[in-house]
Amino acid sequence: MPRVFKFGGALLQNADGIRRMVSLINEFQCEPMVVVVSAIGKTTNALEELYRLSRSKNNVQLQEKYFQLKQQHIRLAETLEIKDSDPMIHSLEEDFRQLWDALNISYRDWYKGYDHIVSFGEAFSGKIIKSFLASEGIPVRFVDAQSIIMTDSRYTNASVNWAMTQKSVEARLTPALGNKEVVLTQGFVAADMLAITTTLGREGSDFTAAILAYILEAQEVCIWKDVPGLMNADPRLFPNAVKLPHVSYNEAIELAFYGASVIHPKTIQPLKKKGILLKVCSFFNPQSEPTLIDADESDDAKIPKFIVKKNQALLSISSRDLSFMAEESMKKVFTAISKNRFHVNLMQNSAVSFSVIVDENLEKLEKTTRELKNSFILKYNTGLELLTIRHYSDELIKELSAGKQIFLTQKTRTTIQLLLQP
């Protein structure tokens, strides 16, 4: 039964981080291991910016940003003392040439083009890390994630074809693990049945690790983070945030659903189905106790958890003739939301109105309201924040909403959500 390790891009943004990763791999190398890596540092953000510049025909800035990204990766390889004679350097240069060609394509489908462009980040990181692992004497087998993770063609948020993925993983990964090789692959990226690049959703590398763990029936998944473990709140927003020693699968699913950024929302379900232990481990203090995530729910209510989603927009929709917001009306609304790839963070309805809270994106908001304005009266507010408290108390609600305008409240026995003006 292998272990699955996942390392995010923030940990691998420089040579020190990659060397630290290698030391962790060496510590557990005696056991079968799959290592999942993300794009290095802020590469995905940089590729998103390149895609935007290419579509706006801003060629001067496009070239400048492109060469900055290329130099960043070449310098990283140099710092790792990967020699110019290493075939990887030539392969990396070729990848960047292909990226430049891709940036000069006029994509008819924005989402398909997006997946093609941003996938280069994982291509770069996979090659650099594979070359360095080999130079350190680690028996490594690199397997491109696009050859094993099979999906549908819903670009930017593809769904896994589990049957085909299982066949690919068993054919490509199981023999390498049997040979005691470290299997290296990338997170986030995949391919559809026509071998066209897809992605699993932003921050989807955790999900890749869970997919592989599920198919390989791993003993555990270790997600290495630059925090002590899973925290009850973002320490940047809540100075008194504490580490959670243990939570259940169900609690972790709830936290991910409401927007906790440490774990990708889709990650937990595959692990829960097979009872695979998930550890959230400290990259910079690996000897410390990780957060454990399993089926035991006994600790879930002991510590309240706080999740803040900033830059939220409230879209208020009501019928023009004051008729009820019934099934046909709701169908029109959700069709427009789905078409424009909005993720709904919260919704609430009354007899004649319907409210949705989404991540603020003015371009998507304008497209959505344009499609709905003939049928509905529309209003929206931006610059809001959505506060979620799991296992709340009246005192916590009062403290955290003091002096703020509350636009909307939704409450269950365990969770309250407040849409606030910061």
Residues of the chain with CATH 3.40.1160.10: 3-218
User: In a 10 Å sphere around its CB, with 0-12 CB exposed, 13-18 middle and 19+ buried, how is residue 401 labelled?
Assistant: middle
Query: Whole-model pTM?
Result: 0.89
What pLDDT does 29 receive? Answer: 77
Superfamily of domain 3-218: Acetylglutamate kinase-like (3.40.1160.10)
DSSP 10-72: GGGSSHHHHHHHHHHHHHTTTS-EEEEE--STTHHHHHHHHHHHHHTT-HHHHHHHHHHHHHH
What pLDDT does 202 receive? Answer: 79
CATH architecture of 305-421: 2-Layer Sandwich (3.30)
What is the separation, in whole angstroms, between the first and last Cα of the chain? Answer: 48
Beta strands in 226-352 (DSSP E): 246-248, 277-282, 291-294, 305-319, 344-349
DSSP 152-164: -S-TTSPPB-HHH
Please give the Cα distance from 406 to 422 (Å, whole number): 10
Which residues are within 8 A (CB) of 171 and not within 5 positions of it... i.e. 6 or more apart?
none
CB 333 within 8 A of CB 304: no
Please give the Cα distance from 326 to 354 (Å, whole number): 10
Per residue of the chain (422 residues), give pLDDT as tens: 899 999 999 999 999 999 999 999 998 877 899 999 999 999 999 999 999 999 998 889 999 999 999 999 999 999 998 876 678 999 999 999 999 999 999 999 999 999 999 999 999 999 999 999 999 999 999 999 999 999 999 999 999 999 999 999 999 999 999 998 999 999 999 999 999 999 998 778 999 999 999 999 999 999 999 889 999 999 999 999 999 999 999 999 999 889 887 788 789 999 999 999 999 999 999 999 999 999 999 999 999 999 999 999 999 998 887 677 777 888 888 899 888 888 899 999 887 788 999 999 888 888 888 888 888 999 889 999 999 999 999 999 999 999 999 999 999 999 999 999 98
Cα–Cα nearest to 156, from 193, 194, 112: 112
Upper half-sphere CA count for residue 306 (Cβ side, 13 Å): 21
DSSP 8-state class, residue 146:
G
Residue 41 CA from chain centroid, whole number: 14
For residue 321, which amino acid is it? D
Residues of the chain with CATH 3.30.2130.10: 305-421
For residue 421, which amino acid is it? Q
What pLDDT does 329 receive? Answer: 80
DSSP 3-state of 227: coil
Backbone dihedral angles phi then psi of residue 409, each to the nearest 5 degrees? -130, 140
What pLDDT does 41 receive? Answer: 94
Alpha helices (H) in 104-182, listed in sequence order: 110-118, 120-135, 162-172, 174-178
